[in-house]
Structure 1
């Protein structure tokens, strides 16, 4: 069982924009002792100091900034916030996942990022949405085909909710991908596009079966959107997962 339970800070992007220090403090009070950042270039030194003061570690960070900023600046920021795992969560045209040539181009892009990152002691990962699961190649998802094209050091952060929305049987997918999966985005909701998410354990996703299929992957709570109080939702998510896995 991977520990500690983490949370993707994109979940609280509005709250962080209004009051970063107060939001992180409240997360620590709820019981989160680990986070995943979504823009490491936003005051990395100040963020690291605050996290240290609160006893919060950084499991990983999204690195969408690699598409708009110089790679060295991004990798310096990744190191400064306190992690060596940088994840690409988007920025690639959806159509690239519908053809083999597109998947090869995507793999070349990710492998190129990984080669640059390696010189800084950083690993590159990829985070899916639904559009990497919907296209099929002889009964294999585009994500599975892409994984075969990636350099061995490139890992996966599987968004379990979007994988299900994309048509995958998520436990089977995780077993197929095996140890390429270092992290899971654990989220819940109605299981369809365009509707708000819920606290983990309050939607239609079979969370226990999913987690059992990847016992060593880091669990990272995320809600892309929420119609209820977001702090109550992330607290309920933590309580559910803590009880489920005995953390």
Structure 2
């Protein structure tokens, strides 16, 4: 077995990518994702429609692991209900983001972080983990020579793990490979998307490997990643065709691991 295969990270799909299809046919959609070779799914928008138990059964029947749940931070009213759902779903990590305006100043960051840290404490009591997912403001905003992302990391409860959205990090002016390298073991998940990397609001996504992102370099960076998660938004091509092309590219590079040969 080659070194590339041994070090490849399992490949999953972000639920938003297949949301329209899964809302029409949950089981059929997850079966189709698994047939391509994907090994997991990060849930988004499905529990509200089907309930956590059915989503969990459908993923298990398809042979897909639930990598994480993209769901609001369990803090304040409704926190325990969110954690109940995560447990029923079988999602050990709950991932969400702060709002763009919460990176307008260091004080705003601190105010937002309090919510995340409360969520981390609530989750820890259940044996669950909170993950933080970035957009672009974390990297585009700079205070006293420090990126807002670094300010954020210095304030977050150390139990909070990271889900790096490498495309949005690049849109914020960062080098995703450099970010991965310095995050070390704290970064567990990565969102993989591709496109022209020109406009946060307007970019159309393309299959992985057909846009501006150098995924061989990014995903070849040593890190703590446990899952590679393909997320394709605002596609101009068929979703499953894009997922197949993305799978072939990432598994073909040897950076991601699937269940079907590329």
Task: Give CA deviations for 1:20-41 in whole Å, capped at 9, x if unaligned.
Answer: 1221111111111211001464
User: Could you state the TM-score of these two structures normalised by the residue count of structure 1?
Assistant: 0.93
Match of 1:141 among 147, 167, 185: 147
Match of 2:248 among 239, 244, 247: 239
Match of 1:58 among 66, 69, 74: 66
8 Å CA contact 1:200–1:240 kept in 2: the answer is: yes
- The corresponding residue for 2:229 is 220
Task: Give CA deviations for 1:138-191 in whole Å, capped at 9, x if unaligned.
Answer: 333211210111111011100000100111111112222222211110111110
Change (3 A) 1:214 1:157: farther
**Long gaps (5+) in structure 1:** none
Match of 2:162 among 156, 160, 165: 156
Change (3 A) 1:82 1:132: same
RMSD in angstroms over aligned alpha carbons?
Answer: 1.8
Within-5 A mapping of 1:160-239: 160-193=166-199, 194-217=202-225, 218-239=227-248
Task: Give CA deviations for 1:70-90 in whole Å, capped at 9, x if unaligned.
Answer: 11121121122222100013x
Q: Displacement, 1:65?
A: 7.1
Match of 2:133 among 127, 136, 144: 127
Within-5 A mapping of 1:12-161: 12-39=18-45, 41-42=47-48, 43-64=51-72, 66=74, 70-89=78-97, 92-161=98-167
Aligned length: 245
Q: What is the distance in 2 between the residues matched to 1:180 and 1:139? A: 23
Q: Displacement, 1:69?
A: 6.6
8 Å CA contact 2:133–2:164 kept in 1: the answer is: yes
Q: Displacement, 1:66?
A: 4.2
Q: Displacement, 1:206?
A: 1.1
Q: Name the SS of the counterpart of 1:156 in structure 2.
A: strand
Which structure has more relative contact order (CA 8 Å, sep 6+)? It is 2
Q: What is the distance in 1 between the residues matched to 2:241 and 2:143? A: 41
